[in-house]
Structure 1
Amino acid sequence: MHVVLSGTGNVDHLEENVASLLRPPLPSADVARVNKLFAGVDTVWGG
């Protein structure tokens, strides 16, 4: 799972986002849980 959300007008938010990117990857059990939760999703709508 790879997700990058960017685009902010707030420097504090940008710094928090960069700090998040520098953290270690999620534990494999957490990744498995997210994959299970979203296994049935076949489309994305940003409406």
Structure 2
Amino acid sequence: LYLSGISSKSQSWTVRWGNQADQQCQFAFSTPDSEPTTSVLQGTAQCH
């Protein structure tokens, strides 16, 4: 998943690839508090 222009505050996201309950994933993600040293950040999120 590639996200662009997101806020540095923690946000909840839902990714859907169908209409069924088992075809979606919810996760929370936030960028680091410190100034990033690269223009692309990589992270890992646990789906719920």
TM-score tier by shorter-chain length is under 0.3
If the length of structure 1 is used for normalisation, what is the TM-score? Answer: 0.21
Q: TM-score, normalised by structure 2?
A: 0.20
Greater share of helix: 1
Structure number, greater radius of gyration: 1
- Bigger relative contact order, structure 1 or 2 (CA pairs below 8 A, ≥6 apart): 2
